[in-house]
Amino acid sequence: MQKLTELEEVNQMSHNACYLKNLIANRVGLKHQPVFDLYTGMLSDALIDKSLPEILHIFYNYVTPRFLIKKLTDAVNHNLENTSLYNDLNAILAKAGLKKTKFGN
């Protein structure tokens, strides 16, 4: 958000984030319905002045395929670790002298 707003400390983060989500969510695959924000006067001028291609370019510099894959594997591993099947399989592997399994590793 700092890069988009060109501010060291972003004031009114929730309003700037709402504007950003409204603008790009449907273009980047986020589940977000546009929301009306009464406080659009609080938005960063630098953010408002940026074109959609500029905003998407900055967004995709941070949200890379590597970032998304890491988030996905972390979520899958977290969910797997909380299942009895996962625990049962790892107990069997431990008895066989093998290390625990992780999705994506």
> What does the block give as tokens for 96?
């066989």
Q: What interhelical angle do 65-81 and 84-95 show, nearest 10?
A: 80
Q: What is the separation of C-alpha 78 from the centre of its chain, rounded to a whole number of angstroms?
A: 16
Q: Does pLDDT of 6 surpass 80?
A: yes
15, 44 in Cβ contact below 8 A? no
The whole-number pLDDT of residue 105 equals: 52
0.75 cut: is pTM over it?
Answer: no
Query: 26-35, 42-51, 57-66, 94-103: which range is least confident on average?
Result: 94-103
